[in-house]
Amino acid sequence: MKKFLFFISLVFNVLCCIAQPGDAEINALLAKYKRPVTVLEITTNESWHTHQLAPRYKGSFIVMVPGQEIAVQSSTHRRITVLNPLELGHQDINRLGLCEHLDVVIIPDIEQIAGASYTNTLNELLTLGDHIFIGAPLSQRDSIARQYPQLQEVASSATQAIYYAYTDKKELRLTRWTVHHTAQKKYSIISTFETKQLYKEVTDSTSTWVPGINLMTFVMLRGLYPTNSMIRKELKKLKDSEHNDLIIGNMVVQGTRIVPIDFGDRRRNANTRKCIEAACMVFRFNRRFKDPQEALQKYADYLHRSQRKKQ
C-alpha cells in the first residue's frame, strides 16, 4: 500500500512539473519581484501552477477551485491557501476584486471556470490584481482580440492561447468582504516589484502591505487549507497580542500562518482574548462550509454581546 501511495504521489508531482503554456512568462514575471508576492490561481485542474511556484518564490499562493468539492492533499505547501467555493458567480468575483488586491492572477482555462459565456466574466476578472494571465480556446482568438485589446497573447498550444494583461490596480473599494458599501475614504495601493504599501485616508496612515488574503475572504470562499485545527492553533498564538481590534477582518491568511494587520487604530478598543475566542468558534465546526455568511453573523453577534457586557 505504501509503495502504491508513493507511486501515485510521484505521478502527481511529475504531472505538476510538465511545462504548460504560459509557464515561462509567469516565472519571468515573478522573478522580477524583490518582495513577497500574492498569487491567486483559479482552476479546476489539480495540476496547479502554484505547486510549482510556491517553493520557488517568496510570498503567499492561493488556489481557488470552484464548482466541486475537493480534498486537500497532505503534501500541500505551507505557503499555499486553498479555497473551494461551490459556486463562483459574477457577484463573488466582483466582491473579491473590491476587497482584495492580488499581485498575479492565473486562470489556466477560463472556459472551465466561467463556461462558454466567459467573455461576460472577463471584465470582472481583470479587476482582481495587477498582472493577469488567462487561458482561452484558440477558436476565440479573434473575438478576444476585438473585444479586449488590453489582453496580449503571450503563449499558445494546439488548442489554447494564453493572454496577459497589466491592470495596475490602485485601490480597494471595500475594507472586507462583508461590508455592504464602498469605502467613503480611499484605501490606496502603491505597488512596485520592490515595495507594496497601503495608504488609509481615514487614518492618514501608510503601512507595508501584508501578502495573503483576509481571513474573512477565506471563510466566505470556503477555505479548506489551512484546516480548522491549524487555524485555531494559529489564532491561539495571538491571544496575548497587543492589538486593539483583532477581529477576523484584521487577520490575513498566508498558507499555514495567520498574521494580524491594522495595528494601532485609535478608534478601536476591542478585547483581544474575546476576539480570539469568537474567531476560534468560527473554525470549531465544519458548519461554516454550509453557510459562511451565517457563521460570520454568529461570530459578529458573539462579539457584540461580549462588548456590551464589558460596558
What are 176-191's pLDDT values in tens digits?
898 877 666 678 999 9
Decide the pairing of beta strands 59-64 and 80-83.
parallel
| pLDDT above 70 (res 14) | no
Q: Are residues 135 and 268 in the same domain?
A: no
Beta strands 80-83 and 251-254, pairing class: unpaired
* Contact between 146 and 120 (Cβ < 8 Å): no
Q: Domain holding 92: CATH number?
A: 3.40.50.150
DSSP character at residue 277: H
Q: In which band, very low, low, confident or very high, does the pLDDT at 264 lie, cut at 50, 70 and 90?
A: low
Nine-digit cell string for 251 = 487577520
Of 21 and 132, the structure prediction assigns the larger pLDDT to 132
**Both 155 and 280 in a single domain?**
no
More confident residue, 117 or 236: 236
**Domain stop point among 114, 131, 166:** 166
Answer whether residue 105 is part of any domain. Answer: yes
> Do 30 and 131 fall into the same domain?
yes
Instruction: Work out whether strand 102-107 and strand 129-137 pair parallel, antiparallel, or are unpaired.
Output: parallel
Specify if 260 maps to a domain: yes
Mean pLDDT in residue range 219-244: 90
- Quote the mean pLDDT of the chain: 86
Cα(227)–Cα(279) distance, integer angstroms: 14
Question: What is the domain range of residue 133?
Answer: 21-166
Judge if 39 and 156 occupy the same domain. yes
Shared domain check, 143 and 74: yes
**In the predicted model, what is the mean pLDDT of residues 170-174?**
91
Domain boundary among 166, 183, 200: 166
Residue 154 within a domain: yes
155 and 230 fall within a common domain: no
- Same domain? For 149 and 249 the reply is no
Of 148, 166, 184, the position where a domain reaches its end is 166
Residue 216 placed within a domain: no
Q: Which pLDDT belongs to residue 262?
A: 79
Residue 7 clears pLDDT 50, i.e. is over it: no
Does residue 158 sit within a domain?
yes
Q: 160 and 40, same structural domain?
A: yes
Q: Is the pLDDT of residue 224 over 70?
A: yes
The angle, 0 to 180 degrees and rounded to 10, between the axes of the packed helices 228-236 and 272-282 is 170
In this structure, the answer to whether residues 161 and 28 fall within a common structural domain is yes
Higher pLDDT, 165 or 74: 165
In a domain, 181, yes or no: no
251 and 125 share one domain: no
Let me know if residue 174 belongs to a domain. no
159 and 32 belong to one structural domain: yes
Query: Is residue 293 in some structural domain?
Result: yes
Instruction: Give me the residues paired with residue 106 across strands.
Output: 41, 133
Question: Which range has the top average pLDDT, 109-123, 130-144, 233-247?
Answer: 130-144
* Percent of the chain's residues with pLDDT above 90: 56
Where is average pLDDT lowest: 100-104, 120-124, 220-224, 226-230? 120-124
Asked if residue 132 has pLDDT above 80, the reply is: yes
147 and 246 in a common domain: no
The count of domains in the chain is: 2
Q: What distance, in Å, lies between the first and last C-alpha atoms of the chain? A: 60
Give percent of the chain with pLDDT exceeding 70. Answer: 87
Residue 114 above 50 pLDDT? yes
